Structure 1
Amino acid sequence: MLKNIKEWIAVFMILGVIMLIGNWIGYDVLPWTALPGIAILIGISLVGLIIHHLLPFQLPSIAYIGIIGLIVTIPGMPGSAQIATYTAEVNLLAIATPILAYAGVSIGRSWFDFVQLGWKTIVVGMVVLFGTFLGSAVIAEIILRFQGII
């Protein structure tokens, strides 16, 4: 368990630095302004992962992280207003970019396993990606036309 926590902290620290840089370059939020918010988000994520590891229930760790985040930001909870203020300084895309990059690297490490599943899996994956893209484009087109934007 201690080894897992050390690994999680190392990954969170790397992602935190990348988030700080992305928030600074992309959204002009100075690192020392966003640092408390990123530290809070990292702390909530770490606690959620630890709870997931300790409890015998088979819920995904994101459920625990979401529940903890919800609880600590309930109006009336001690410090909830300050947590909301600090985390408001961190933009969503500054968070999503390094996390998605990390996910891509993780998938890339197991690319050989993915290829071993056969060419049919690759075709199905491409069709799913294309269908998702096409479906999103159609929905966006309908909504934008309905609103009179295009």
Structure 2
Amino acid sequence: MLKSVQEWSLLFIIIGFTIIIGNWIGYGIMPLEAVPGVIVLALISLMGLMIHKLVNYDKIPSIAYIGILAFILTIPGVPGSEMIVNWTSQVNLLAIATPILAYAGISIGRSWTDFVKLGWKTVVVGMCVLLGTFLGSAIVAEIILRFQGVI
């Protein structure tokens, strides 16, 4: 389990750094303001993963343990819950989702080395897919908003 905790910790450090940068650039929240919230979120996630590993009951996903733990820690009246809520409120949800979804997309191939083996063509195709999705969404939004008279 120690090896898993080390891997998870390294992953949380990388993603946490990315979240802090995204939170700063995208939402104007200074890194020092967001650091406590990112640390709390990473620790809650790490504890949830450890509980899942210790319980060793695969029918319940680890995200359930993480969610329940976060819920319990933020119940009003629980010591420290106000601080946890205050710290985590400095971290924007989209700043969290972006690096996590990027990692999830890469991990579909099961490892970074497999992703590297796919080569530069995969990156180009991925960028084209993202660009097409963005442009398609923008066009649909433009049409609907013009139809409704909003713009």
- What TM bracket, shorter-length normalisation? 0.7 to 0.9
In 2, Cα distance between the equivalents of 1:38 and 1:55? 26
- Asked if 1:71 is matched to 2:69, the reply is no
Shift of 1:109: 4.8
TM-score for both structures, normalised by structure 1? 0.73
Counterpart in 1 of 2:53? 53
- In the alignment, the residues of structure 2 paired with residue 65 and residue 109 of structure 1 have an alpha-carbon distance, to the nearest angstrom, of 22
For 2:87, the equivalent position in structure 1 comes to 86
Q: Percent identity?
A: 57
The 4+ residue runs of structure 1 with deviation greater than 3 A are: 108-112
List gaps (5 residues or longer) in structure 2: 116-135
CA offset at residue 108 of structure 1? Answer: 3.9
Name the residue aligned to 1:34: 34
Matches of 1:75 and 1:95 in 2, distance apart? Answer: 24
- Deviations along 1:18-68, one digit per CA (max 9) or x if unpaired, are 000000000011111000000000000000000000003331000000000
Q: Distance in 2 between matches of 1:50 and 1:11?
A: 14
Which residue in the other structure is 1:104 paired with?
105
Q: Secondary structure at the match of 1:59?
A: coil
TM alignment of 1:15-34, pairs within 5 A: 15-34=15-34
Unmatched 5+ stretches in structure 1:
113-132
Distance 2:108 2:50 in 1: 24
Structure 1 match to 2:10: 10
- Alpha-carbon distance in 1 for matches of 2:104, 2:84: 27
Moved more, 100-109 or 57-66: 100-109
Q: How many residues align?
A: 122
The superposition leaves residues 94-146 of structure 1 with CA deviations (integer Å, 9 ceiling, x where unpaired) of 0000000001111245789xxxxxxxxxxxxxxxxxxxx9xxx8xxx7xx96x
**Distance in 1, Cα, partners of 2:47 & 2:76:** 21
Structure 2 length as normaliser, TM-score?
0.73
